[in-house]
Structure 1
């Protein structure tokens, strides 16, 4: 079994740019207010999700190791 990540979006920081939902539509969705949220709280580690987090202009996406809580992004 591979690494599992816990993904969160800080909705107080999210500016609704939508890069995450357009680059990783299986992992992120925009709600009616255009605020991002993860489709699932825990996912398999994914380069696509990491790249989406890295493209967020305000670093609103937080990724942690699901088992330990260690930060993946931002580190």
Structure 2
């Protein structure tokens, strides 16, 4: 997650291999940076992966938890945290996932 200490520098956004990071106020979609064409939601409904979603934050850069793999399978460490000049890219206690879960998510998003 990105905390409210974010200075909106944007250093993190291009580093994300899943395109899970967005500028505050910007809509996002599942297809950006992934191979997904449709996504089954928690309620069982299926949406087009290109369908735009509401921003998670209007003020600061944000990370879409469902697209974040903490760079597992891509890099040794989360690249957003590595480049953040104010250390505001931190683990989200509401979305703790094992390495196996993160790898499965990466494979799901990138059809591997």
State the TM-score bracket (shorter-chain normalisation): 0.5 to 0.7
**Whose strand fraction is larger, Structure 1's or Structure 2's?**
1
Pick the aligned partner of 1:37 from 41, 58, 62: 62
- Correspondence 1:1-75 to 2 at 5 A: 8-11=1-4, 13-24=5-16, 26-32=19-25, 35-40=60-65, 43-46=68-71, 47=75, 50-63=78-91, 66-67=96-97
Structure 1: gaps spanning 5 or more residues: 1-7, 69-75
How far apart are 1:40 and its partner, in Å?
Answer: 2.0
Q: Which has the larger radius of gyration?
A: 2
2:35 matched to which residue of 1? Answer: none
Deviating beyond 4 angstroms after TM superposition, the runs of 4 or more aligned structure 1 residues are none
Q: Which sections of structure 2, spanning at least 5 residues, go unmatched?
A: 26-57, 99-112
